[in-house]
Amino acid sequence: MQQAKRKRFKLDLRELHALCEANYARLLRLFPDYETSNSREFVVGSAKVRLDVVERCRYTTIFHLHQQQAEARWLGRLRVEVRAYHDAGMLEVGMFQSHRQVAARYNYPNEQMFQQDEKSQQNRFLADWLQHCLQNGLSSQTLPVPGA
């Protein structure tokens, strides 16, 4: 019997870049005054969401995204670190639920049991989560109107 050849995993950079660009736009809609404010809070259902600026540099900003007090059956506590690349207009996940960085691609199987496209999956989840916040979030703060 011949072993079936495994199809080699290829990362779709075009798709990943489009996703990171869309996530950048979503984050800026949720936190338009990130340059002058260090945090933004709002609620989504029973969850309290907090976006914190951790580090500002000329071309990048690092944010921590936290979700707490959510129903345990949907994430419970979410912790994500993202990096915004302002010159490229992109936002990518740096760390997700832990203090480890995830590589763009993995051989499978691997010791940590990461999927081959673990980083892409995390960025897709971030897209869904940011969109959910945009559609369902309620803020007690008055947001500045862009261009006003």
* Each residue's pLDDT tens digit, 75-88: 568 899 999 999 99
pLDDT of residue 56: 96
pLDDT tens digits along 101-124: 766 666 667 676 666 677 888 899
Q: In whole angstroms, give the CA distance from residue 125 to residue 110.
A: 22
What confidence tens digit (pLDDT) does each residue in 13-65 have?
Answer: 898 899 999 999 999 999 999 999 999 999 988 889 999 999 999 999 999 99
Please report, for residues 6, 140, 144, the alpha-carbon distance to residue 125 in angstroms, rounded to integers and kept in the order given: 27, 26, 27
Cα atoms in the 13 Å half-sphere on the side-chain side of 18: 4
| pTM of the predicted model as reported, rounded to 2 decimal places | 0.80
Q: So where are the chain's domains?
A: 13-138
> Does the pLDDT at position 142 exceed 70?
no
Q: How confident is the model at residue 1 (pLDDT cuts 50, 70, 90)?
A: very low
Which pLDDT value is given to residue 88? Answer: 96
